[in-house]
Structure 1
Amino acid sequence: MTTIALFGNPNTGKTTLFNRLTDSYAYMGNWSGVTVEKKVGAIKNSQLAVVDLPGVYSLNPLTKDEAVATNFLLNEPQDIILNVANAAQLKRNLLLSIELLEFGKPTIIALNMIDSLRKLGISYNLDVLRHAFGCNLVATNARGNKGVQDLKQQFLQAEPDLTPNTFKLEYSSAIQTAIKQAVRGLQRNYNLGEQFASWLAIQFMNANKAVITYAKENNLTPLLNQQPYYEAQHFADKIYQARLEFIEATLKEARQQAQNPRITDITAKIDRVVTNPVLGLPIFAGIFFLMFKLTFDWVGTPLSNILDQFISGPLSSSANQLLTTLGALPFLHSLIVDGIIAGVGGVLVFMPQIFMLFACISILEDSGYMARAALVMDKLMSLVGLNGKAFIPLIIGFGCNVPGIMAARTIEQPKERLITTLISPYMSCSARLPIYSLFVAAFFSKHQAAIVLSLYFLGIAVALVLAKIYQSVFHSEETSVFMIELPEYHMPQANIILQGTWDKGKGFIHKAGTVIFGGTVMIWLLSYLGPSGVATNVGQSFSALIGRSLLPLFHPIGITSWEAISAILTGVLAKEVVGSTLMVLYHTAGRSMLVAALAHLFTPLSAYAFLVFILLYIPCFATIAIIKAETGTWKWAAYSVVVSLLVAYGLAFFIYQGGLLIGLR
């Protein structure tokens, strides 16, 4: 199997091109840090594997995800390098290209987003660029699927005959002499190939942190002994300047001005409004409010009601009749009807709302707005010692906290990265959506979108307040530099929206068949059995005993139902299980019946306090595990559990008791 390593700056369409090449789908977005782990695909009818690496501006890593790309070159096998460059931003993008070409492997540069270049009224002579960089270049527009087949053919032709590229940049005589000396020592003492030794030497002189670490781990003395000399001679600055001068001269020679520029200023006109310091935040809030109106009022809820009628009606009654006809044991009969169908089915009825929400998020990503959202939030984030880059993981957390926390790898400063990791679980992930849907339908039917929006914004507010506290506690004074490219606005494409929605939503269906199914069976068993065996009614079950024992603790925040407490406990497994637990414990056959049951056990005030508690309390098991993985210790995972529980209880207590004081109910 031949391995193609896919490199490129953020926002060059790299992941889109990966999907086109491999006929598969990977998560896409218009912001830096969307690809936090390598993804592997295969080109059909070939022995070619494509590895999609995180977007990087250079091979000198500043963040954890950038280190993945450099370490892949150092430690993993690769046969061909595909470098994706934004054709409209070549002066910056080609800096990475030079670093990759110096590695010596066969390299193809894809000049992607070629349509954006043409809109500027500019074109480049590809033959001039090919000659200058000593490798092949292919013009592509991955979004429009143009040039992709030509690129595939390049790989298929290169597969049997992998010829190294011929690029070699002439640096100053002092640097050239230092490179030759280092290469001789590395070849003689460490048996390294000339090309790899040369690349190591250049990267070491360029103060590449990953390469310096590699040199120390392998005790590469020809480099380590000369490090003070390299630094004293400012080789890193001179290398950068030599590369930049070469790129500028090459582009000047290759540039061709088109006769009819078609560039429009529509993107700039829109940005003057949506990124306005005064209007930006209200527009952001308005867009999210519209998103929730579509999810809960206009599209998602009506479709959920139809699905609920089917599951609680024909499906449940048919299963009931079939099991009765077959003479199924009462235990099995109850497990299937009252446990699996009521529990798992009761969660699946929320699929339309969840998929509607993900469709809206995919539209915002594909249109280019999400990058603007991070820019708009930059000023607000700076007040708590973070920046817009930290808001990107929080946005991703609206879908799921796990990839949101993983996206914090894009943050350079360790303390800033830790703070972002600790506040990410307060983002309202999609798993909480079924719970919101139940309660807003029962208590806030005329204001569903507004109530859900308030919960999302409350999660952001709590996260920002804690971030400010952590900044003081951790003495986090250094902040990352926030740089983000604002891509052109695009008309969202139906296939990308459908793929994006499915990729985000399929995890919910997978959970329904695994975690939710297992949790439902566990809850059913606890409600079916009691201290004396089979419970004659649910009030004598283990679930009831556990829930009632905790009632005094939850009564101050308005929770007077032991069933709700049991649901809270199982929600630590996965937040979706809260809904299925309520379905099982209330013995309801459908969503509408559960909504009616809830109306007798909560008041609007206690219902909102309950939702606030669900929003903020202990993260699910998967989130706890990823916090441990990203911080490298269980200490911060345990800390997150304790603090989130205290914050949730304290805020729910304040809302409920405060509401009672002013006469709410």
Structure 2
Amino acid sequence: MKNRETVHVAFVGNPNCGKTTLFNAITGAKLKVANWPGVTVEKMEGEAEYEDVRMTLVDTPGIYSLTSYSIEEKVTRNCVMDDDIEVIVNVVDASSLERNLYLTLQLLELGKPVVLALNMMDVVEERGMEIDLHRLPELLGDIPVVPVSAAKRKGLDILLHAVIHHYEEDSKDEVLHYGQEIEEKIGKLSERLKTFYPTHSSIRWHAIKLLEFDEDVKSEHPIETADVFTRSYEKEIIQIKYAFIESIIKEVLFYRKKKTDRTDRTDKLLTHPVWGVPVFLCIMAFVFFLTFAIGDWLKGYFETFLEIFSGKVSDVLIHINTADWLVSLIVDGIIAGVGGILTFIPNIAILFLALAILEDSGYMSRVAYVMDGIMGKAGLSGKAFLPMILGFGCTVPAIMASRALETEKDRRRTMIITPFMSCSARLPVYVLFSGMFFGKYAHVAAFSMYAIGMVCAILVARVLHVCEKEKSGDSLLIELPEYKRPNGRTIRIYVWNKLKDYLSKAGTTIFIASILIWIVLNLGFNGMVTDPSESFGAAIGRGLEPVMRPAGLGMWQIVVSLIAGISAKEVVVSSFSVLFGVGNAQTTAGLNTVAENLKNIDPSFGPLNAYCMMLFVLLYVPCAAAMATIRKESGSTSFTVKLAIFQILFAWLMATIVFQVGSLL
């Protein structure tokens, strides 16, 4: 074995193949996070040691092929072609072997040592399938094929053993033969590349990419090709690859037909061109019914605890002769603001639980497929719907997911429409106002916000598409995974991480915002005030009251809460608790008090106003963290500012139209 200090290893695989889980299982806490040069995609590096050999491991973005359309594909392609990378660990989802092998064949053509890590073998066994682990490596050029389970940390030592004993081996003969005509052209191009670039690695891969008219390869390694070929052979090369993959699957994979047939039968309904969208909307409506029906029942216990806790803290502070202003700050400001948000934990948990089950079962991929036609009419690929789906959870990762789109224009357009998706932070606002004004129809009012957000996003994209006079978006090419029973551990981790983020925000952003709101409502031009109407907050709100009045929101308290909501949408609810001096606006008594105060200030304030409030919160500028992410991903402050202005104006316009038309009716 070569005497080398460190072996450099790249982990490469399709999205959702368990690559990052495997990477983390091997590296543990020894991680270094940075950005890839020139892009905002995160770069994860870790270290491992086996048999006294040190390894530097690089986790690349998940991709389906080495054809560089998206940012992720370009980053991964540049990484694996780097001369520093000595071994490629191709992580494959063994339960979707056919889909994963296309990338495997491309990696083998690079001429570098490749180790195939067959992940999720436990899922293969659960489905009653079997993989011939002796024949598979033979068909792939005798490369090491190691069964692993990243989630259960099985097979890790064998994988590392294969890496350190395989990296020094010379590359094998080509695994895939493309036929006499194409192979002759590959041979001529390879000889020419060797002449002009004698030290270059991956000669065969570059020759194949030249035959595919790959623009990056043509510009980086320009050679005369007109006498070898005059048209692209990309279609033929892809077809030959998939024919070879099909032959591999027939030889090595057994007992998959029964599972596939079951998936096909289910997809006849869930991906039906007519019924697919209504089924999706019905599923989401049921999710929000559960969110309210069960969530509100559990929330009652949180409310009771908060009410008791708030009273006890107040009694203790008064007993020790604490200054009135400090009692007010702690009880009416911090506990009312932060505590009011914590009562929504049951609702948030149920929503995330449902989304995790839908994602892990394989259904969410179907949603993107079903929406592809609608997105195409809006000038976008069905891929753009994937960030929109993520937006139901949080806008920040949803904006980051726009990296998967091929062009900068598509990415920016997706950034414009994704914030219209109702993130979990908006749910507390929907629960508050629908609970106050819509009674047993609260879940219907809340669900309508999710539907309106999707409609507005698609309409805005359509208008931009028509204004720019472009052709329709490219069709979505996506392999639909087989349905599977959701993994309890995966779902538990997903829900806990989301709740942890929510609690973290309650302990930081909302905590600070609650204090700031209390300050602007208890300080005025003459110092401390007992009447909030004489505070700085009231002065700011009154200045903007005339602007918000046409939208049915002409009340300074509402204006102040909306301004505070820019920091985080949950702050809108905590602001109401502070603004109306209610310890917990989510109890029945609290809701009645807030509703009564709203009526006292404006007797005409009713369900229509409440609906316009929910609509404005849905459509106006997302939270500060989301705006910072948009600035980072777009690389443009000007674009971010213009987007914020557009969203505020759009929210005001839509709320105004609904209020004015509703008032007439």
TM-score (norm 2): 0.86
In 1, Cα distance between the equivalents of 2:424 and 2:83? 36
Q: What is the Cα deviation at residue 429 of structure 1?
A: 0.8
Quickly say closer, same or farther: Cα 1:6–1:630, change in 2 above 3 A: same
Q: What is the Cα deviation at residue 162 of structure 1?
A: 4.0
Q: What is the Cα deviation at residue 604 of structure 1?
A: 1.0
Matched, 1:536 2:530: yes
Q: Structure 1 unaligned runs (5+)?
A: 25-34, 216-222
Amino acid at match of 1:537: D
The one of 178, 194, 201 equivalent to 1:195 is 201
In 2, Cα distance between the equivalents of 1:257 and 1:321? 70
Partner of 1:308: 303
5 Å-filtered alignment, 1:606-621, equals: 606-621=609-624
Q: Structure 2 unaligned runs (5+)?
A: 1-5, 30-39, 599-604
The one of 222, 225, 242 equivalent to 1:224 is 222
Partner of 2:36: none
In 2, Cα distance between the equivalents of 1:340 and 1:115? 48
In 1, Cα distance between the equivalents of 2:485 and 2:212? 41
When structure 1 is superposed on structure 2, of 98-107 and 530-539 the one drifting more is 98-107
When structure 1 is superposed on structure 2, of 358-367 and 47-56 the one drifting more is 47-56
In 1, Cα distance between the equivalents of 2:270 and 2:237? 39
Q: What is the Cα deviation at residue 582 of structure 1?
A: 1.5
Partner of 2:67: 60
CA contact (8 A) 2:17 2:91 kept: yes
Partner of 1:219: none
Partner of 2:37: none
When structure 1 is superposed on structure 2, of 635-644 and 422-431 the one drifting more is 635-644
Amino acid at match of 2:469: H
Partner of 1:284: 280
Q: What is the Cα deviation at residue 336 of structure 1?
A: 1.9
Q: Deviations over 1:126-178 (max 9, x none)?
A: 256247424201235667x4xx5224432156458843463332783443343
5 Å-filtered alignment, 1:140-151, equals: 140=148, 145=152, 149-151=154-156
Quickly say closer, same or farther: Cα 1:357–1:131, change in 2 above 3 A: closer
Matched, 1:163 2:132: no
Q: What is the Cα deviation at residue 542 of structure 1?
A: 0.5
In 2, Cα distance between the equivalents of 1:449 and 1:36? 38
Amino acid at match of 1:526: V
Q: What is the Cα deviation at residue 558 of structure 1?
A: 1.7
The one of 491, 494, 498 equivalent to 2:492 is 498
Q: What is the Cα deviation at residue 570 of structure 1?
A: 1.1
CA contact (8 A) 1:520 1:577 kept: yes
Matched, 1:650 2:653: yes
Quickly say closer, same or farther: Cα 1:330–1:260, change in 2 above 3 A: closer
CA contact (8 A) 1:12 1:86 kept: yes
Q: What is the Cα deviation at residue 501 of structure 1?
A: 0.9
Q: What is the Cα deviation at residue 260 of structure 1?
A: 10
Aligned pairs, how many? 633
Amino acid at match of 1:310: F
Helix, strand or coil for the counterpart of 2:117? strand
The one of 81, 84, 105 equivalent to 2:88 is 81
Quickly say closer, same or farther: Cα 1:582–1:262, change in 2 above 3 A: same
In 1, Cα distance between the equivalents of 2:459 and 2:532? 42
Amino acid at match of 1:285: L
5 Å-filtered alignment, 1:14-93, equals: 14-15=19-20, 17-18=22-23, 51-74=58-81, 78-87=85-94, 90=97, 93=100
Q: What is the Cα deviation at residue 2 of structure 1?
A: 5.8
Q: Percent identity?
A: 36
Partner of 2:134: 126
Q: What is the Cα deviation at residue 541 of structure 1?
A: 0.9
Quickly say closer, same or farther: Cα 1:501–1:77, change in 2 above 3 A: farther
Helix, strand or coil for the counterpart of 1:149? coil
Q: What is the Cα deviation at residue 43 of structure 1?
A: 6.9
In 2, Cα distance between the equivalents of 1:160 and 1:166? 13
In 2, Cα distance between the equivalents of 1:490 and 1:92? 16
Helix, strand or coil for the counterpart of 1:507? helix
Matched, 1:153 2:158: yes
5 Å-filtered alignment, 1:465-614, equals: 465-590=459-584, 591-592=586-587, 593-600=589-596, 601=598, 602-614=605-617
Helix, strand or coil for the counterpart of 1:195? coil
Q: What is the Cα deviation at residue 458 of structure 1?
A: 0.5
Helix, strand or coil for the counterpart of 1:172? helix
Amino acid at match of 1:282: P
Matched, 1:293 2:296: no
The one of 390, 401, 409 equivalent to 2:403 is 409
In 2, Cα distance between the equivalents of 1:276 and 1:244? 26
Q: Deviations over 1:96-116 (max 9, x none)?
A: 223323445442112345577
CA contact (8 A) 2:120 2:149 kept: yes
The one of 7, 11, 22 equivalent to 1:6 is 11
Q: What is the Cα deviation at residue 455 of structure 1?
A: 0.6
Quickly say closer, same or farther: Cα 1:552–1:394, change in 2 above 3 A: same
Amino acid at match of 2:147: A
